[in-house]
Amino acid sequence: MNSDPIGVFDSGIGGLTVLKEIFRVLQQESTVYLGDTARVPYGIRSAETVVRYSFENTEFLVAKGIKLLVIACNTVSAVSLDAIKERLSMPVIGVIEPGARAAVKATKNNRIGVIGTEATINSGAYARVIQQIDGALDVFGLPCPLFVPLVEEGLTDDEITVMVAKKYLRQVRDKGIDTLVLGCTHYPLLKSVIGKVMGDTVTLIDSAIETVKEIRETLLRDSAECNALREPSRLFYVTDSPDRFKSVGERFLGQKIKTIEKIDIGL
Amino acid sequence: MNSDPIGVFDSGIGGLTVLKEIFRVLQQESTVYLGDTARVPYGIRSAETVVRYSFENTEFLVAKGIKLLVIACNTVSAVSLDAIKERLSMPVIGVIEPGARAAVKATKNNRIGVIGTEATINSGAYARVIQQIDGALDVFGLPCPLFVPLVEEGLTDDEITVMVAKKYLRQVRDKGIDTLVLGCTHYPLLKSVIGKVMGDTVTLIDSAIETVKEIRETLLRDSAECNALREPSRLFYVTDSPDRFKSVGERFLGQKIKTIEKIDIGL
């Protein structure tokens, strides 16, 4: 039993899909979320820059007294997870391994597709983790750069998004995959469009859901879950103006964000 | 006669549409371009942050011995042009005033539309400049956040982009405007799609073309144009990995970028 908060960071708002799932599954846990909105998007930066940013974010959250760190960002999980694990004694959970493991379990024809940002796909991180588990699996990565701006524009259920999805996803459908990993924290909001385009025969893997399963197992294993009956605290920090984070973020979370504090990091 | 280079900076690659127009109209001029790709996009940052970044970029270019500074970025032009002008003794040219002046000249029914990023439109900078020239003009601003990612994805002539353009532009068309300012340096690449959607009766104002007219007039006025017969030098600097800048940038420029140097700024 440990009532310290869970720390979650992302380069921006995408990680809120993971946070939303924490709220749903681990209702008693307090959380501290950091969105590095002054330096978003990480996906177009060099590995060296992403590692530096992620260390700074980690330090901020550790100073908040967290018991477990969630890297709710595919780019950072791909590039910098091991380096962060080495630095910390607490559990550190990224979003790639849980999604990769779930995909390996789900596939029946041994053909897995992974969609994400250019940085995530070009890093090859999902393919590496999946093939470490089972070298006989075929993995097809596909960057879908327009999905993030479409989600942030609120077009999660628009004909335009369906057309973009058809244009992109044809390339993984043609590979005969039976499992598709949504390898970007924004994509759970497109699950219905992606599901329609891919059809019933393809299983979609939602990294947010898989990541929170792993957080839960880790807390139970360490007897570190929070059973306190008080209201959990839910803190939000951003590194640039909170206005946009609040309006777009509330759509991601499906609930109001009461207070957000702007902090300076890495200046 | 002055053979020092013209300095141009943008938060990323959008400013290359202005640079391309400089290459076309001012063929003898040497140039130094800085794309602050480590900190792009500026459009979602606070004014305070944008001003700080723009000072750092300015310092870098001034140290390169430029004779004139072009701020090829609507966000910086909206937020930080006056502050930069105060600091420098050389001419400083932004992209907003030239476009605004051309729109005032072009309109016959006194109704002008302006499209751009959320930051540019929310700053109200175009409306302010246009109404300073003629307070009787009506200005209708409209943010079009998906246009930049669509251009960067290379979909400048795609049915998806036509649908997005129709969805957005209906809102300015319904205002009965006869002039539309392309208030973002990416938008000249969408001129053909936007022109089709708006129809023949609406004049499109290309900020890149108007800005370079003003650069030319300023150089002529100051007798600072370059008449040297040698090949002009064309230098490119970026603040993060040059790979993506090169591939997307060559599409913007319509020509090869031979060498790009990565520099560190504001660390």
CA A62 – CA A181 distance, rounded (Å): 30
Q: Looking at the predicted structure, is the pLDDT value of residue A190 above 70? A: yes
CA A262 – CA A220 distance, rounded (Å): 33
pLDDT at residue B225, as a whole number: 93
Of the candidates A16, A26, A40, A73, the residue annotated as catalytic is A73
Query: Which residue has tokens 């391994």?
Result: A97
ipTM comes to: 0.85
| Residue A267 banded pLDDT, cuts 50, 70, 90 | low
CB neighbours of residue A267 within 10 Å: 10
CB contact A244 to B (< 8 Å): yes
CA B183 – CA A100 distance, rounded (Å): 43
- CB-defined contacts A:B, below 8 A: 51
Cβ proximity of B53 and B39 under 8 Å: yes
List Cβ neighbours of A220 (8 Å cut-off, separation of 6 or more).
none
- pLDDT tens digits, one per residue of A138-181: 999 999 999 999 999 999 999 999 999 999 999 999 999 999 99
Give the mean pLDDT of A37-41. Answer: 86
Could you tell me the pTM of the whole model? 0.89
Give the mean pLDDT of A126-136. Answer: 96
Q: Which domains does chain B have, with CATH numbers?
A: 6-94+209-262 (3.40.50.1860), 96-207 (3.40.50.1860)
Q: How far is A119 from chain B (nearest CA, A)?
A: 11
Cβ proximity of B46 and A241 under 8 Å: yes
A261 φ, ψ to 5°?
-110, 135
For residues A25-62, one letter each, b for 16 or more C-beta atoms within 10 angstroms of the residue's C-beta and e for the rest, the string is: ebeebbbbbbbbbbbbbbbbbbeebbbbbbebbbebbe
CB contact A44 to B (< 8 Å): yes
In which region does residue A42 sit, left (phi positive, over 0), alpha (psi from -120 to 50) or beta (all else)?
A: alpha
Minimum CA–CA partner of A242 in chain B: B46
Q: Looking at the predicted structure, is the pLDDT value of residue A118 above 90? A: no
CA A93 – CA A114 distance, rounded (Å): 19
Q: How far is A153 from chain B (nearest CA, A)?
A: 7
CA B246 – CA A111 distance, rounded (Å): 34
Per-residue pLDDT of chain B (267 residues; tens, 9 = 90+): 899 999 999 999 999 999 999 999 999 999 999 999 988 888 777 788 889 999 999 999 999 999 999 999 998 998 899 999 999 999 999 999 999 999 999 999 999 999 998 888 988 999 999 999 999 999 999 999 999 999 999 999 999 999 999 999 999 999 999 999 999 999 999 999 999 999 999 999 999 999 999 999 999 999 999 988 889 999 999 998 898 899 999 999 999 999 999 999 875
Mean pLDDT of chain A: 94
Residue A7 tokens, joined: 């720390």
Taking contacts as CB-CB distances below 8 angstroms, the residues of chain A near B148 are 149
Q: How far is A120 from chain B (nearest CA, A)?
A: 14
pLDDT at residue B226, as a whole number: 93
Q: With an 8 Å Cβ cutoff, are B240 and A145 in contact?
A: no
List the beta bridge partners of residue A8. Answer: A33, A70
- pLDDT tens digits, one per residue of A47-97: 888 899 999 999 999 999 999 999 999 989 988 999 999 999 999 999 999
pLDDT at residue B42, as a whole number: 84
